[in-house]
Structure 1
Amino acid sequence: MGRKIKVVVVDDSALIRGLLREIIDAAPDMQCVAVAPDPLIARERIRELDPDVITLDVEMPKMDGLEFLSRLMRLKPTPVVMVSSLTERGTEIALRALELGAVEIVAKPKIDIVNGMNNYADEIREKIRAAAQASVQRAAMPAVPPSHTADAVLPKQSKPLLKSEKLIIVGASTGGTEALKEFLQPMPADAPGILITQHMPEMFTRSFAARLDSLCKITVKEAEHGERVLPGHAYIAPGHSHLLLGVSGANYICELSQAPPVNRHRPSVDVLFRSAANVAGRNAVGVILTGMGKDGAQGMLEMKQAGAYNFAQDEHSCVVFGMPKEAIAAGGVDEILPLREIAPRLLHWLNTKGGRATRI
């Protein structure tokens, strides 16, 4: 038999690292030459061992897998198989991984991990073999766009306009498609207008809005530039543009902008939240749901400083406790709740003269 395929396994779970090593080493044509619990250690192992294939998780300490993948493809292109519970085919994370240069994707089982991984053993080995044959090219340009702040889209204002109409402003990313469904379904037909930024590829936002519209009492649609924000309606940022809250006369309106990405995202949650701080001030209620990264943390703090009351999804109910964690750490959050409790509590707060709950 010829030379074995050399594989480096990168995953923060010791259990998964061990299972993947066993699966790889059980095949006569491949060998797990190293395992690493985070991308920084992985970088050293890759330099030392020059593997043929890398298996890579998404959620890891020190640097998430997508950022590591992007850097790897710019500096040392190597075939990568993503192995993560977040890379089910068709999800925004899976699509992003493929865009950044991953060759294959395997979804980790969410329950009974040991048996589930063993059931996937043949698939994992076949995908490693396929990846080892792949030709990957060095990225000619950075795959991740520059990380601007919301200043690239609009300046921060110190005095919001004074209106009485309440609004709900929501940001989400990884896991947000299901979280938004659970948040929006309890909303009554006369709920305040809702503006939503969900990190999602352009081709999916319109159909995503239509799906939510079919499941909710309120009307849910993809936002259009210049349209009035109405009670009983939710407006989802299209995947190609930032969504901002604006005003026209006495009305709140949706504004769309194709300004540079902020926190590497367009649409960006920080942009939406800053616009709400600028325009609505204390008449806005902010909500930050599950998501990877820090987009929305600074904007939520600005909303709070402008008088808004803000909710964050708790760690236990998040798919990824990244964006809520960063918003909490920044000091922009008033209440931290399980997903199922956010909508009822928010509606109660709105119905009690602006809320009397103690801020955290």
Structure 2
Amino acid sequence: MNAAGEILVVALDPLLRKVVTESVTLFADGATVTAVSQTRATPERLTAASLVVLAARDADFSGLKSVFSLVKAADRPTLLVTAGESGEGRNVAADLKIAGSQHISIPELDIREELRAASPKLEAAMRQARRDRPRGKPVQSPPQAAEARAPAPSAPEKSRPVEHDGPPYLGTVICIGASTGGTDALLAVLSGLDRNCPPVAIVQHMPKDYVADFAKRLDQSCRIDVELAHDGQALRPGHAVIAPGDRQFRLRKGNKGIWTALGESERVGGHCPAVDVMMKSAAQELGKKAVGVILTGMGRDGANGLLAMRQAGARTAAQDEETSIVYGMPKVAFEEKAADTVLPLQKIANWIAGVTLQLPK
């Protein structure tokens, strides 16, 4: 599949938008994947996309009529993912002239599991749609997307880490939590960090089967090393670890350094791993020698943990509404006074670099 350009996922329902975006990202082959609501699916954005993925539940079709018209006018390669049993999706596909192979219909029971089961069909549909790209229309990233994300460097050269026999790391740790829209947001932040930045601990709400591949993609796109966290893993500068998708994730500190601790599989606040769990452990173990960041996401996970970090003396920030795909988690963090700073996405990496220089070594 030609990886040039941007894949635009458009859905009215936030949960469906999140799940479809996660699934599409697996087969994006290096392309940028951006998820937007129907109100942000502008003609300019649709026309600039290399591939448009429309996602809708049965109850969403009436609310997406205007988007359907815009998609038809944009004449871009289009996939349709519908959840439900009404058969209305077939009518929409016919109206948009979407071939049957580019329409993926799943029951509205367990959307995540149903879409996972349909992943071979999704991959094949994406490949076919990209091969069928219309002629004569340039593919470029829209201005809106450029404002919302810091540009990612193209596959920077990295020297692989060597065994570290020196003293244990006992400095600052950056803790980041994200959910819906977080895959692109994390790429924007991590790709802006210097090779020698403090270690980064990340909780991204994502099905467990996807996290390892997501970590590999970030590792290939960033100057720092990124990998899936394992239990008892020592943190070091220039290194980011992402919590697995089925264990609670904490940080621990002792004379031998700072390391990861994977715990129970029970959900906390509806999530496993939960941002709150990681950040509360950072507050307890690291105190002021930590930095906490809440990125785009639905719900309120992370607000209590970020507040605990701030009360322990850590610097804390939340992504602003304008650049958030879903302004849920950052909004609650701001309202609960957990974030001492609110920033657009493209400024977060520089903010992290600045505050970490000021923290105690």
Q: Shorter-chain-normalised TM-score: which range?
A: 0.5 to 0.7
Matching residue's letter, 2:68: M
Partner of 1:207: 213
Structure 2 gaps, min length 5:
1-10, 27-35, 44-63, 73-78, 91-104, 111-168
**Hey, what's the Cα distance between the residues in 1 that align with 2:25 and 2:214?**
17
**Hey, what's the Cα distance between the residues in 2 that align with 1:185 and 1:94?**
17
Matching residue's letter, 1:117: F
For 2:272, which of 266, 282, 290 is the aligned residue? 266
Q: Is the 8 A contact 1:273 1:296 kept in 2?
A: yes
For 2:182, which of 176, 180, 189 is the aligned residue? 176
Deviates more, 1:226-235 or 1:258-267: 258-267
CA drift of 1:94 comes to 11
**Hey, what's the Cα distance between the residues in 1 that align with 2:82 and 2:278?**
44
**Hey, what's the Cα distance between the residues in 1 that align with 2:344 and 2:314?**
20
Matched, 1:130 2:87: yes
**Hey, what's the Cα distance between the residues in 2 that align with 1:172 and 1:342?**
13
1:285-305 C-alpha deviation (Å, 9 max, x unpaired) = 001000000000011000111
Partner of 1:13: none
Q: Is the 8 A contact 1:92 1:200 kept in 2?
A: no
Matched, 1:220 2:226: yes
1:96-147 C-alpha deviation (Å, 9 max, x unpaired) = xxxxxxxxxx9857223876412668979997742699997999xxxxxxxx
Matching residue's letter, 2:87: A
Partner of 1:335: 341
For 2:13, which of 40, 58, 70 is the aligned residue? 58
**Hey, what's the Cα distance between the residues in 2 that align with 1:177 and 1:136?**
26
- TM-score, scaled relative to structure 1: 0.60
**Hey, what's the Cα distance between the residues in 2 that align with 1:205 and 1:126?**
24
**Hey, what's the Cα distance between the residues in 2 that align with 1:135 and 1:215?**
32
Partner of 2:20: 89
- TM-score, scaled relative to structure 2: 0.60
After superposition, residues 295-314 of structure 1 pair within 5 angstroms as 295-314=301-320
Structure 1 gaps, min length 5:
1-55, 60-65, 67-81, 96-105, 140-162, 355-360
Question: In the superposition, relative to structure 1, how do residues 212 and 114 fare at CA in structure 2: closer, same or farther (>3 Å)?
Answer: same
Question: In the superposition, relative to structure 1, how do residues 259 and 190 fare at CA in structure 2: closer, same or farther (>3 Å)?
Answer: same
**Hey, what's the Cα distance between the residues in 2 that align with 1:116 and 1:267?**
35
Q: Which has the larger Rg? A: 1
Matched, 1:276 2:227: no
Which structure has more relative contact order (CA 8 Å, sep 6+)? It is: 2
Question: In the superposition, relative to structure 1, how do residues 124 and 196 fare at CA in structure 2: closer, same or farther (>3 Å)?
Answer: closer
Q: Is the 8 A contact 1:87 1:107 kept in 2?
A: no
After superposition, residues 1-360 of structure 1 pair within 5 angstroms as 57-59=12-14, 86=17, 89-91=20-22, 108=38, 110-112=41-43, 116-118=67-69, 129-130=86-87, 165-353=171-359
**Hey, what's the Cα distance between the residues in 1 that align with 2:106 and 2:221?**
44
**Residue aligned with 1:351, SS:** helix
**Hey, what's the Cα distance between the residues in 1 that align with 2:82 and 2:203?**
38
**Residue aligned with 1:118, SS:** helix
Residue-pair matches, total:
242
Percent identical: 36
Deviates more, 1:112-121 or 1:242-251: 112-121
Q: Is the 8 A contact 1:88 1:107 kept in 2?
A: no
**Hey, what's the Cα distance between the residues in 1 that align with 2:322 and 2:84?**
32
**Hey, what's the Cα distance between the residues in 1 that align with 2:211 and 2:348?**
23
Q: Is the 8 A contact 2:172 2:289 kept in 1?
A: yes
